[in-house]
Amino acid sequence: MKDLSEIIASHPFFSGLDSNYVDLITGCARNVKFSAGDVIAREGQPSTEFYVLRHGRVAVEINAPARAPLVLRTASEGEVVGWSWIFPPHRWQFDISAVTLVRALAFDGKCLRAKCDADPKLGYDMMRRFAQVAASQLQATRLQLLDLYGGRG
């Protein structure tokens, strides 16, 4: 069985991360499991962690008054969910729920922010990685909105 540092080092999100940093951030990680239907995060609640998906799928949703939640995207194995932990005020911007059984690594945001603050090189590397996550999620949201509303006059 792989230990957490091996799992982190082999995950696509951490590809190319210096092995010393892998060892450092492993102290902020833990394995988590969610059953289908479990709510992982609620919009507006404190965002204290992010998730690196190892198995399963999660729905990233927004709520609108008098409507069913709108699924903006579905994330699956290999993806990262949650970037609100890194940006004040550290509140979830979306709801996240498990669509299937999910196994993931949960990273403690406060722990990781402290390590990034103490080592600016690590902080820059993590900020760069999360900027890419945020940009790709915004692009996915844009495409979803175009798909939903693009045909309406």
Taking only the tens place, the pLDDT of each residue in 31-42 is 999 999 999 999
The pairing of beta strand 49-55 with beta strand 80-81:
antiparallel
Whether residue 98 is contained in a domain is answered as: yes
Main-chain phi, psi angles of 45, to 5 degrees: -80, 160
Question: What pLDDT is recorded for position 86?
Answer: 86
Whether residue 17 is contained in a domain is answered as: no
pTM of the model: 0.86
CATH of the domain at 130: 2.60.120.10
Tell me how many domains the chain contains.
1
Whether residue 145 is contained in a domain is answered as: yes
The 10s digit of each residue's pLDDT in 1-17 is: 579 999 999 998 998 99
Whether residue 90 is contained in a domain is answered as: yes
Whether residue 52 is contained in a domain is answered as: yes
- Please enumerate, as own/partner, the contacts of 25-29 that have beta carbons within 8 Å and a separation of 24 or more: 25/107, 25/112, 25/115, 25/122, 27/111, 28/107, 28/108, 28/111, 28/112, 28/115, 29/4, 29/105, 29/106, 29/107, 29/108
Question: What pLDDT is recorded for position 62?
Answer: 86
Domain containing residue 140: 31-149
Whether residue 135 is contained in a domain is answered as: yes
Whether residue 4 is contained in a domain is answered as: no
